[in-house]
């Protein structure tokens, strides 16, 4: 009886809660569906180029004025008022449609397509929080959303171009643990190339900028670009006289103008949808302005080569600009201007293409698809089956096994081809027979490319960027996979030095101490040091400070994100509990650097990469070099308290 009464009392108490929950969650679910329909409608309208809807509206009002009696929609307005309304609508639509505000057109096009998607995600997140769905149900809802909207950012980037393409490239580089996999797969096409301009345009710009007809400087310029990006494209070319192969980068017309327009739109969009990203947008805007001056980029490239080549010359390569200092230049002032950058050519392929080619070759050898093999490797890594020592030994054994397999296959193919050749010589080959169906076809030799040593590549990437960050205080803030080449000689090629950030010694020492604390997983000291770097939240709670620091500079692993609903919900949920109030500008590009490097590592198969642990040695060396004691960390120290969904301090379990 007591149990029954207890159950009845608990049920009686829970009824108002359940009723309130349903009153709130049901409208949220309905609103999410309506927003989804609105998103589809906006996308359809844009695809049909009906962005001049105000003009159609004005024509409809005029038609009503002329043909409809004072009833229905216009009965409250006198005819002069109807005509005035129609004229104003027509004027406004003409300004929008004909070109009175180019920024308005691009802004409306972007927001009408992207904002419904963001609202849909927010409504689903709110609905899931209220219903307290289990993890598998949450994942299913998000998977449906990801599949529904994955192609939308790509369509917007391809349609609008400009800085929207750059943002899409950055999103695709963050990796599938940070950006949902369907979005990464859709946007990955932009990492190597984007829509390009014809070669005739490239030759015209080169002639105009260098003051000499392009054919007098270049014996050849490839019609097909090596790659295209948000503000320009690059072509392989050959210099007259010496025959040296070079790469020429040409900037699009009005690229800087479009950047200003698009940056304002994206920043306003982030203020509404992702306020925690506004500082990043502001810093990117400041840094990106250097990309429009190729003379400055040439100087930055030469400085990067001077910094890195003495230490890393056998492991990495930085192309030199064909400027006035270069012996191959055909012009006294060099072959670099504000809109044209000529540089040495590095022979190789992008890291992304090399990794995809390796995955495809392995999948073919195993009789599987690349997608299935990638998913299996991801699952095995998460179970810890691909971690630990001995990776180099296993890789060498695998390479030897594949080499032996190729040798055996090629031996049989050579014997078969010799037999076919002898048969042809002796006239034994049956006339008119189909070779492929009768077994008389010659067999091709196989050569499996050597396996990528992903662990070695990841270590090298982090090592060379640690040197830039801590030793030089001069680093490339845009190391996405399209800007990293795997060269034919085995080195890494580092290209595109337009977004360089310079950090002073004081900032580097401060950040080095934070990296040591992050690497040692000392949550209390991490929170303290990140606050000393200038980061502040509304409550400045240590648990939130530690979370923000880990997210930016260390890892995306379960111990960081699970308390906040996983990767997708991490930032909005943490911002709800303790939102950032001040972001130190000097470390915003460092955050971007670590995010892109972690994305590269994930694309190579290391889904649990920890930037802080890979950088701890370089950070400690910098501190010792300048006589600064290392932070007194306590390895694995956890904070005893956290913030719940309402922002209240509670004990951690």
Q: Please, is 21 exposed, middle or buried when counting C-beta atoms within 10 Å of its C-beta (0-12, 13-18, 19+)?
A: middle
Buried b / exposed e over 510-537, threshold 16 CB at 10 Å, is: bbbbbbbbbbbbbbbbbbbbbbebebeb
Q: What pLDDT score was predicted for residue 142?
A: 87
Q: What pLDDT score was predicted for residue 608?
A: 84
Q: What pLDDT score was predicted for residue 377?
A: 65
Q: What pLDDT score was predicted for residue 644?
A: 93
Please report which confidence band the pLDDT of residue 54 belongs to, taking 50, 70 and 90 as the band edges: very low
Average pLDDT over residues 551-556: 93
Average pLDDT in the chain: 78
Q: What are the boundaries of each domain within the chain?
A: 16-149, 199-228+231-345, 351-386, 388-452, 503-651
Is the Cβ–Cβ distance between 90 and 58 less than 8 Å?
Answer: yes
Query: What distance in Å separates the CA atoms of residue 152 and residue 74, rounded to the nearest whole number?
Result: 38
Average pLDDT over residues 196-205: 90
Element (H, E) at 486: strand 484-487
Average pLDDT over residues 421-431: 61
Please report which confidence band the pLDDT of residue 270 belongs to, taking 50, 70 and 90 as the band edges: confident
Higher pLDDT, 272 or 7: 272
Higher pLDDT, 302 or 135: 302
Range name among 180-194, 207-221, 613-627 with the lowest pLDDT average: 180-194
Q: What pLDDT score was predicted for residue 5?
A: 42
Q: What is the pLDDT of residues 567-622, one digit of tens each?
A: 878 888 999 999 999 989 899 999 999 999 998 888 777 878 999 999 999 999 99
Average pLDDT over residues 540-550: 97
Q: What pLDDT score was predicted for residue 525?
A: 98
Average pLDDT over residues 79-87: 53
- In three-state secondary structure terms, 1 is coil
Tokens of 98: 């004909």
Tokens of 501: 């950030």
Packed helices 102-131 and 152-160: angle between N→C axes, nearest 10 degrees = 170
Q: What pLDDT score was predicted for residue 565?
A: 85
Is the Cβ–Cβ distance between 492 and 485 less than 8 Å?
Answer: yes
**Residue 43 pLDDT > 50, yes or no?**
no
Q: What is the pLDDT of residues 390-401, one digit of tens each?
A: 344 344 444 444
Q: Please, is 64 exposed, middle or buried when counting C-beta atoms within 10 Å of its C-beta (0-12, 13-18, 19+)?
A: middle
Query: What distance in Å separates the CA atoms of residue 13 and residue 10, rounded to the nearest whole number?
Result: 5
Q: What is the pLDDT of residues 102-127, one digit of tens each?
A: 677 788 888 888 888 888 888 888 88
In percent, how much of the chain has pLDDT > 90?
Answer: 37
Q: What pLDDT score was predicted for residue 340?
A: 96
**Residue 442 pLDDT > 70, yes or no?**
no
Please report which confidence band the pLDDT of residue 634 belongs to, taking 50, 70 and 90 as the band edges: very high
Range name among 20-29, 241-250, 328-337, 341-350 with the lowest pLDDT average: 20-29
Q: What is the pLDDT of residues 346-386, one digit of tens each?
A: 999 888 777 777 777 777 777 788 777 767 766 665 554 55
């Amino acid at each position: 009886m007591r149990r029954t009464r207890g159950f009845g009392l608990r049920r009686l108490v829970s009824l108002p809660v359940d009723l309130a929950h349903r009153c709130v969650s049901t409208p949220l679910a309905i609103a999410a569906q309506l927003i989804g329909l609105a998103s589809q409608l906006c996308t359809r309208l844009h695809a049909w180029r009906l962005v001049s809807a105000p003009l159609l509206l004005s024509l409809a009002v005029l038609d009503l004025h002329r043909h409809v009696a004072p009833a229905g929609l216009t009965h409250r307005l006198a005819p002069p008022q109807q005509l005035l309304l129609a004229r104003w609508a027509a004027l406004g639509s003409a300004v929008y449609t004909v070109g009175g505000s180019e920024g308005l057109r691009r802004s409306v096009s972007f927001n009408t397509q992207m904002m419904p998607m963001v609202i849909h995600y927010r409504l689903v997140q709110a609905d899931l929080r209220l219903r307290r769905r289990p993890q598998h149900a949450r994942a299913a809802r998000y998977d449906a959303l990801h599949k529904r909207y994955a192609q939308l950012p790509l369509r917007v980037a391809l349609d609008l171009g400009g800085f929207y393409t750059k943002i899409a490239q950055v999103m695709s580089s963050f990796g599938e643990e940070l950006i949902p996999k369907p979005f990464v797969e859709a946007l990955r096409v932009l990492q190597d190339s984007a829509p390009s301009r014809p070669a005739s345009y490239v030759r015209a710009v080169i002639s105009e900028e260098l003051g000499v007809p392009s054919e007098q400087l270049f014996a050849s310029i490839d019609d097909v670009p090596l790659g295209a990006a948000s503000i320009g494209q690059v072509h392989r070319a050959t210099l007259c006289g010496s025959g040296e192969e070079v790469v020429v980068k040409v900037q699009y017309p009005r690229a800087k103008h479009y950047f200003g327009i698009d940056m304002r739109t994206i920043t306003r969009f982030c203020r509404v949808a992702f306020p925690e990203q506004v500082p990043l947008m502001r810093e990117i805007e400041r840094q990106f302005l250097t990309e429009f001056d190729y003379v400055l980029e040439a100087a930055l490239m030469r400085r990067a080569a001077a910094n890195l080549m003495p230490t890393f010359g056998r492991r990495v390569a930085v192309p030199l600009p064909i400027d006035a200092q270069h012996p191959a230049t055909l012009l006294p002032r060099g072959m670099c201007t504000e809109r044209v950058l000529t540089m040495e050519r590095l022979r190789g392929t992008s890291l992304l293409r090399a990794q995809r080619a390796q995955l495809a070759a392995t999948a073919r050898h195993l009789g599987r698809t690349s997608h299935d093999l990638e998913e299996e490797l991801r699952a095995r890594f998460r179970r810890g089956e691909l971690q630990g020592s001995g990776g180099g030994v296993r890789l060498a054994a695998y390479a030897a096994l594949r080499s032996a397999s190729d040798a055996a296959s090629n031996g049989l193919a050579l014997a078969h081809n010799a037999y076919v050749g002898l048969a042809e010589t002796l006239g034994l080959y049956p006339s008119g027979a189909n070779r492929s169906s009768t077994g008389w076809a010659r067999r091709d030799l196989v050569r499996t490319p050597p396996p990528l040593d992903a662990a070695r590549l990841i270590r090298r990437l982090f090592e060379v960027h640690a040197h830039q960050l801590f030793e030089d205080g001069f680093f490339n803030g845009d190391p996405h996979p399209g800007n990293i080449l795997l060269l034919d000689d085995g080195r890494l090629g580092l290209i595109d030095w337009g977004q360089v950030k310079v950090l002073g010694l004081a900032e580097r020492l401060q950040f080095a101490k934070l990296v040591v604390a992050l690497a040692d997983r000392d949550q209390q000291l991490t929170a303290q040091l990140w606050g000393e770097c200038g980061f502040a939240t509304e409550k400045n709670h240590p648990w939130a400070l530690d979370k923000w620091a880990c997210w930016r500079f260390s890892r995306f692993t379960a111990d960081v994100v699970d308390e906040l609903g996983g990767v997708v919900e991490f930032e909005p949920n943490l911002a709800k509990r303790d939102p950032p109030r001040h972001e130190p500008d000097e470390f915003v590009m460092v955050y971007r650097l670590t995010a892109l490097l972690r994305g590269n590592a994930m694309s190579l198969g290391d889904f649990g990469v920890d930037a802080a642990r890979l950088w701890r040695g370089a950070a400690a060396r910098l501190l010792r070099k300048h006589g600064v004691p290392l932070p007194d960390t306590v390895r694995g120290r956890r904070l005893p308290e956290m913030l719940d969904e309402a922002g209240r301090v509670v004990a951690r379990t």
